[in-house]
Structure 1
């Protein structure tokens, strides 16, 4: 039941409004008595059945629901199971005349805030309802605080005060509360995996597993066995059955990194899995039901890949209910001082020493660098500077040595295990340097490197390079 938008926008939105209590009971006398008990502190709305309660929820979202179990038609437990998975759901207190541990346990497992058996003590009922209301109020305060911090440029382990990053963090904060599939786009090293983990940590699935698979790091035949698992004897070496990533992420989050590198045949199988909520292990004949939220990431232009025939359009729309774009570090250089501060604190903790101070000249040199490897390259360069710097302060020369050019053996492009990514990083560093040497003039740069001007312009657009 998709009521999150209503609840998040309406529950207790004005500080002078009374909290709303929905009483769901088929006995009018019981609804009247509860209404009289709470009318001074709550705005009371009523429903005599589950269908009527659903209608009330759509038009007048409550903070707390007192939900009777024994209702005509559908019972109260059915409505509880329907509402509770939504992160924005009200606090639900299940009430029943049929006492018993089994029902109480099932209610609490299904997401009830609490459970009361009739006949209940009036003061106990009042206490439980008041505590549930306080819990809902605290929950909203936490959500507002997280959203405010996102607007200030802080999202868990990620930081960035630039307008683009603040907007990204606020959008990610909203998306995290839903169950929508998310596609994260951005160059290698921008932090797509970290953003995925932060979204999971804020989601209703945070108590369950976050399972990741790098789709570009495995051969095609291994990707399928990793995703879907296999039965014993499915292939040579399959000595025992093994659950795949989909099964491992059941009720949690499945992170598919570099989804754009996946083979068409595997794309088709992933599409079937997310559409049907079920997978079939290699060598198996039975389907296994899975309930996962997918977060995917790619450094490729997937809409262009669709036009080129390299990526399935139907899978794209299944995975990209929301698309988040992380800008490259060269487009948000004002964020570098905050990132340096964050990483420097981490390095001091890692090495258990204060280390050298970062000079203003060093910061300026860091901001001058193009960072083709983005935040990952910056983090590596800072660690080298922290370890290798001479004296009490990191100088511009130390940064120059740590942020090595493409020709150096310590180059980020040469450290990259994936050939295509290493090639892309080299092209960015090489062309950026050549453009700088020629004052940003494309014609002169093309002539100096023996490349057609039009080809160079296309390459600049493809790599997203900014002319110096």
Structure 2
């Protein structure tokens, strides 16, 4: 369907000119009075309005205000005589997209109309994507049948409308960022930015400049001003992921920003006010970290006004088959393949596995199966080897097996630990190779913090 341009002007030759220039590519509608223009704008789905400042029944500025008040989202361009430029500028401050003076320069008019329509398309796409995000992260659309998760979603719906700080606790892979996005997109701030920052992924010497930004010349290489994450989140939500990894030296600075809602850019001479909601997440026991002196108590109380905990997958096993089928369907659609089914034995095997990597691990396994299984049915034998081969079932014991027996004088636990270390070393090497030794991306891929990855690289001599 052709895009529509609405001309609101009492001069018939103006509408004729637009039809001559744009009629082949666009549908051109016209109205000779302000009232007719308002009715046409509300009745038709228009993509651009060209509005004259002087109309027989109204002032163009009043019509502009009325269109905006009625929720008109398309760009409105003011048409004006040369002597009315000041009024046109005032119209732009009111909400007009641009203005053009009469008589028109044809090339200038073509350029302005094309750029305004391009802006209209981009605005519509942003609106569509924003609605998709709201739907995707609405708690009612998150896949679960678990009573524990239903109870959690009930809490989320109650707290989303407020600006209260939320701390999301849970193991790696449980979906803490999805919960954070659900809170944001269910809040009055949903049309503003959601800005995540992984506190564990950034080196300590870069953390301050990333969070607070810097002025031109603040340090060598600072060629222009750069806003920090808190500024980028202005009006929206900042998500402090892995907040337990914040260095102690940074914690009082974060606390001050949370309390005063002002930031100091590196090299700046004045404070910058910021308006944001903070949502944090951690896979650590932060109260325990406070007792150990690794996390400030005052910062903990500031970010944990509402603490919520996402249960691990092993504590909501009823979600395993539902999520597995959801991921298989998702990947099948992506690959344009029939959706495979899990047989009963395969489902029983999935239910008996402890899922130390939680939902992230389940999703990865389903992606692997969707790529490697050619049949319509996924059986137990199709699952990765550690699901059904006892010698690889050591992963179960990462959650706390302390039993030991002896085999040739070596404890079973020691054998398992050695085997696990070899697997872990191999996985880390593969991740580093995959991302060309980019440790930040490798850590995200493995589901661990950058500091943890660095420790393990040193441990295994990689």
Q: With structure 2 as the length reference, what TM-score do the two structures score?
A: 0.56
Task: Answer yes or no: is the 8 Å Cα contact 2:312–2:358 preserved in 1.
Answer: yes
Please list the CA deviations of residues 255-307 of structure 1 after superposition, one character each: whole Å capped at 9, or x if unmatched.
00000000112111111001101001111111110000001000000000001
- Partners of 1:170 and 1:263 in 2: how far apart? 34
Aligned length: 284
Distance change in 2, residues 1:370/1:220 (3 Å): same
Matches within 5 A, 1:114-133: none
- Partners of 2:334 and 2:197 in 1: how far apart? 27
- 1:178 equivalent in structure 2: 162
Aligned CA RMSD, in angstroms, stands at 3.2
- 1:274 equivalent in structure 2: 258
**1:436, distance to aligned residue in structure 2 (A):** 7.9
Please point out which of 130, 139, 142 is paired with 1:158. 142
- Partners of 1:325 and 1:228 in 2: how far apart? 29
Distance change in 2, residues 1:303/1:236 (3 Å): same
Distance change in 2, residues 1:386/1:243 (3 Å): same
Distance change in 2, residues 1:433/1:250 (3 Å): closer
Please list the CA deviations of residues 294-342 of structure 1 after superposition, one character each: whole Å capped at 9, or x if unmatched.
0100000000000110111111111111111001111111111111122
- Partners of 1:304 and 1:383 in 2: how far apart? 36
**1:245, distance to aligned residue in structure 2 (A):** 0.5
Q: Which runs of 5+ in 1 are unaligned?
A: 1-99, 110-148, 412-425, 439-445, 452-468
- 1:321 equivalent in structure 2: 305
Please point out which of 154, 169, 193 is paired with 1:209. 193
Distance change in 2, residues 1:222/1:205 (3 Å): same
- Partners of 1:402 and 1:318 in 2: how far apart? 43
Matches within 5 A, 1:333-348: 333-348=317-332
**1:356, distance to aligned residue in structure 2 (A):** 2.4
User: Would you identify which runs of 4 or more consecutive aligned residues in structure 1 move more than 3 Å?
Assistant: 400-408, 428-438, 446-451
Q: Which runs of 5+ in 2 are unaligned?
A: 1-60, 71-134, 416-462
- 2:429 equivalent in structure 1: none
- 2:172 equivalent in structure 1: 188
**1:157, distance to aligned residue in structure 2 (A):** 5.0
- Partners of 1:211 and 1:310 in 2: how far apart? 25
- 2:346 equivalent in structure 1: 362
Task: Answer yes or no: is the 8 Å Cα contact 2:404–2:411 preserved in 1.
Answer: no
**1:162, distance to aligned residue in structure 2 (A):** 2.0
- 1:243 equivalent in structure 2: 227
- 1:449 equivalent in structure 2: 413
- 1:396 equivalent in structure 2: 380
Q: With structure 1 as the length reference, what TM-score do the two structures score?
A: 0.56
Distance change in 2, residues 1:241/1:402 (3 Å): farther
Task: Answer yes or no: is the 8 Å Cα contact 1:382–1:402 preserved in 2.
Answer: no
Which of these two proteins has the greater Rg computed from alpha carbons?
Answer: 2
